Amino acid sequence: MAEVLLGFGANLGDPIAAIEAALRRLAAEGVRITARSHFYRTPAWGKADQPDFVNLCAAGSTTLSPRGLLDVIQSVEAALGRERRERWGPRVIDIDILTYGDHAFDEPGLTIPHPHLTERAFVLAPLLDIAPDRVIAGRRVRDWAAGVDRGGIERIG
């Protein structure tokens, strides 16, 4: 069993419903969700001319390999209507593998830990809810979060 941290985001349609549906589908596909953060409304990152996102992070466990987990995640995204049109563009659902145990992976299409998670307040704010003392890239989540601007991020549920 591998312990995983996952990040969820959506800004089209009903983002909360999409994230809830993604959590249910992942559970049905072999990802046991053990904790989840509050929902957060966050400004778009990377491409500002789009609606705000709703973000959530979840902790879980799985017997899936990293590549197997990615395959399941991409099938869940597709089932919920995700179309990959533009980088950092609007989306009905986005699911990222943030960590996979203490392992590091760098393969085509799969980098774990997620390469930008320590820079992104929209990931760190929800991670503080469920894993403040988790060490990622040599520092605790709470320490990474202390170093990023969380302006514009609002807990909504």
Q: Residues with catalytic annotation? A: 82, 91, 94, 96
DSSP string, the chain: -EEEEEEEEE-SS-HHHHHHHHHHHHHHTTEEEEEE---EEE--SS--SSPPEEEEEEEEEESS-HHHHHHHHHHHHHHTT----STT---S-EEEEEEETTB-EEETTEEES-TTGGG-HHHHHHHHHH-TT-EETTEEHHHHHHTS--TT-EE--
